A and B are shown apart, each in its own frame.
Chain A
Amino acid sequence: MEDLWGVAVGVFQVWMFVVVFLIMLPAMFGLSLGVTGVYIQILVHILEWATLRIQRGRQEQPDVPVPLPNGIIERAGGSMEEEVGQLSGGEFALSDAFYFYMKGVESIVDDQVTQRFSSEELASWNLLTRTNQNFRYISLRLTIIWGIGVFVRYCVLFPLRITLAIIGLSWLVIGTVLVGFLPESSAKNWLSELVHLTCYRICARGLSATIHYHNRENKPQKGGICVANHTTPIDVVILANDGCYAMVGQIHGGLMGVIQRSMVRSCPHVWFERSEMKDRHAVTSRLRAHVAAKTKLPILIFPEGTCINNTSVMMFKKGSFEIGGTIYPVTIKYDARFGDAFWNSGKYNMVSYLLRMMTSWAIVVNVWYLPPMTIQDDEDAAQFANRVKSAIAHQGGLLDLAWDGGLKRGKVKESYKEEQQKKYSSIIAGHNGL
């Protein structure tokens, strides 16, 4: 009994040693031991082998449907202007209805909106059970590798990551509370930045996130607004690893609330009560005040308003673009081979989502800082929002969609239908002597 206890303590000591000295401390200082790099390389080799193996297996089983990451139909066909009113020179023709008919049937078979709110379908399996949609038993070796993968992920990586996450979060709360006791001074700001940075780095390690930052000369400056595409709550951790931001959001209860309240002690985040969120003017004026004080940290906003699955960028709500100030666009692109980062809030709650994150292979992420943009004289907030959205989509290779992310939850407004009708009537109305 004594021996067992002794062994357990010994193992625990080794464990903590590994965690603290090999992972936590380097993470705090932004250094890397290179282990993750090697790990990723090995993973890439294994996944490539698995892909080839699956392709070979698929050729032997022709009835299995091939995964189609872009949907099951090809949306050819031109815009309304091209398809309608051509033959009759801009007048109504019986075939005009065909255009609407086709668009309607296309959307029944495969619609672009719903696609964005479920996880991206991969072109080849990445050996995670949860992405196994159309992959069947192909070979023994593949299954063995998958089995080993399960063991490694759940029994080796997962406890490591949980430990790191707990350490990171508690350090955040304790550290910010301690810094909050200091009087306002530049030393306090510096300390608060240090605390935030180190614990976000620890948290990032806890999620096994490997982040590549590009174009760091465009990093958001104080007094600016940082906008980015939204895929998951982890986006915040990813961005905050490289700089300090003032967060914007609703005050939650529970653990999140504790974290939020302690964070705001050390540096000015903008937390709203639930009731305040409904009042758009109150929100805008508070944000404006924050931006006007040019010494405050840049605000971090996700204008889509909801999580999208990282294959596209949906409509940006114009509220963020009415505040004024310089906008610093940022593109965040997750590498889906190593883990699916999208939070499907309808399907998973926060805890099971985090569990899934911690048991993926890794979260590999590319962050591009784009050059700052300001609103031009001849455009309004909505057009400015679209311009920023296109720039972000273009950089990340994401689809630039005009659909509103709010469609995930709400019903379609009548105004969308009216827009279609307006467009059609302007095509054919001109020539009918109207």
Chain B
Amino acid sequence: MGSNSSSMNNIPNAEQLVQETGFSAAHILRLYERFQFLDKDDTGQLRPEDFGAVRELAMNPIGDRIISAFFSPGQETLDFASFVRVLAHFRPADSNRTRDGAQPEPANSSMRKLKFAFQLYDQDRDGKISRAELLQVLRAMLGMQVTEEQLQSIAERAIQEADFDQDDAISFDEFRKSLEKVNIDHKMSIRFLS
């Protein structure tokens, strides 16, 4: 918190971002300050190492995955617009939104949130969570606390419960079906103060 009097004029495409993401102008300004805080060498782009400044993230078992969720596959840098677009997924859903067919689905709809969460598991973006990918996430969350057999049995159970077409992988639809009782909006939303 050391920057002073940054205004909307310094932020590239600020207006467009407000329209696109639904963040208010004040929120965009706050996020820009945060972006600048993380961007220690002032290049206007973030790299995965820059997220190391966030101490709490280093303690998170799936911290690395979360960081890579911000970067599109193959990309090594992140500009402010992409940073904000990713965070837009975590806005609470707008309650009084009327949708016509022509409007694109907003980033923070339940469907988009689910898709985003799906990508956390499905790292190779092939549209399916394979057994190996599921095991990877489980290993990250449980660390050395469980043995290999225990891990395999947890993964086995999870796939059996969700995999309807018996192809030993969880597709997006199967993912969605198995989470239909979960309040996605509640679990995948960050409340921004205004």
The residues of A with any CB-CB pair to B shorter than 8 Å are 63-66, 68, 70-74, 76, 83, 87, 91-115, 118-119, 121, 132-134, 136, 347, 403, 407, 411-412, 416-422, 424-426, 428-429, 432-434
Contact = CB atoms under 8 A, between A and B. Distances in A.
Contacts of A98: 117, 187-188
Given A101-B66, A104-B62, A119-B1, 16 more contacts: A73-B193, A94-B170, A94-B175, A95-B179, A97-B121, A99-B187, A100-B61, A105-B190, A108-B66, A111-B56, A112-B56, A114-B37, A411-B58, A416-B59, A424-B142, A428-B154
A109 B190 contact: yes
Given A109-B87, A118-B2, A432-B154, A94 B162 contact: yes
A106 B34 CA distance: 12
A97 B118 CA distance: 10
A305 to B, nearest CB: 16
Contact of A65 (B29, B90, B179): B29
Nearest to B86: A105
Contacts of A115: 1
Nearest to B64: A104
Contacts of B2: 118, 133, 347
B1 to A, nearest CB: 5
Contact of B26 (A66, A97, A113): A66
B8 to A, nearest CB: 7
Contacts of B3: 133
A109 B57 CA distance: 11
Interface string B135-168: 0011001111110001001100110001000000
A104 B57 contact: yes
Contact of B142 (A63, A107, A118, A425): A425
B81 interface: no
A434 B146 contact: yes
A412 B63 CA distance: 12
A403 B54 CA distance: 13
B117 A412 contact: no
Given A73-B191, A104-B57, A425 B153 contact: no
Interface string B1-23: 11111001000000000000000
A119 B2 CA distance: 9
A116 to B, nearest CB: 10
Contacts of A65: 25-26, 29-30
Contacts of A91: 157
Nearest to A76: B191
Q: Which of A112, A121, A417, A419 has the most CB of B within 10 A?
A: A417
Interface in B175-194: 175, 178-179, 181-182, 187-188, 190-194
A255 to B, nearest CB: 29
A97 B194 contact: no
A432 B121 contact: no
Contacts of A422: 143, 145
Given A98-B187, A100-B141, A104-B66, A111 B57 contact: yes
Q: Which of B59, B181, B187, B194 has the most CB of A within 10 A?
A: B59
Contacts, number: 175
A347 B2 CA distance: 10
B5 A134 contact: yes
B178 A94 contact: yes
B146 A429 contact: yes
A111 B1 CA distance: 12
A101 B145 contact: no
Given A416-B59, A434-B146, A107 B181 contact: no
Contacts of B99: none
B143 to A, nearest CB: 3
A101 B69 CA distance: 10
B139 to A, nearest CB: 10
A424 B90 contact: no
Interface string B38-80: 1000000000000101111111111100100000000000000
Nearest to B113: A98
B164 to A, nearest CB: 14
Nearest to B38: A108
Contacts of A102: 90, 187-188, 190
B120 interface: yes
Contacts of B60: 100, 103-104, 107, 417, 420
B188 A412 contact: no
Q: Which of B61, B138, B191 has the most CB of A within 10 A?
A: B61
B93 interface: no
